Amino acid sequence: MPEEELHAIQIHLDRLLAERGITLTELSAQVGITVVNLSVLKNGRAKAIRFSTLSRICEALRCQPGDLITYKPAEPPR
């Protein structure tokens, strides 16, 4: 993977959707974001997210940004 694509951010959208019993399609309708763009985010392929998008997702899922996004640094080399 090219260096610019490496990051330590993890997205937990799939877990939150499962916990709340809603589908990506339902979330898409609630927040006004395409299923394709939500899928990119869910699969960890997003390079950025707007605060307005993050706000709408958190509002719809009744969560905090930290429930959706976490930072997990790579293990240091031994």
pLDDT tens by residue, 8-65: 899 999 999 999 999 999 999 999 999 999 999 999 899 999 999 999 999 999 999 9
Taking the C-alpha atoms of residue 46 and residue 38, their distance in angstroms, rounded to an integer, is 9
The pLDDT value recorded for residue 77 is: 65
What average pLDDT does this structure show over 62-75? 92
Taking the C-alpha atoms of residue 17 and residue 28, their distance in angstroms, rounded to an integer, is 11
pTM of the model as a whole? 0.84
**CB-based contact 7:41 (threshold 8 Å):** no
More confident residue, 78 or 15: 15
The pLDDT value recorded for residue 62 is: 97
What average pLDDT does this structure show over 63-76? 90
Choose among 51, 59, 49, 60: nearest CA to 11.
Answer: 49
Residue in the structure block whose two tokens are 């930072």: 71
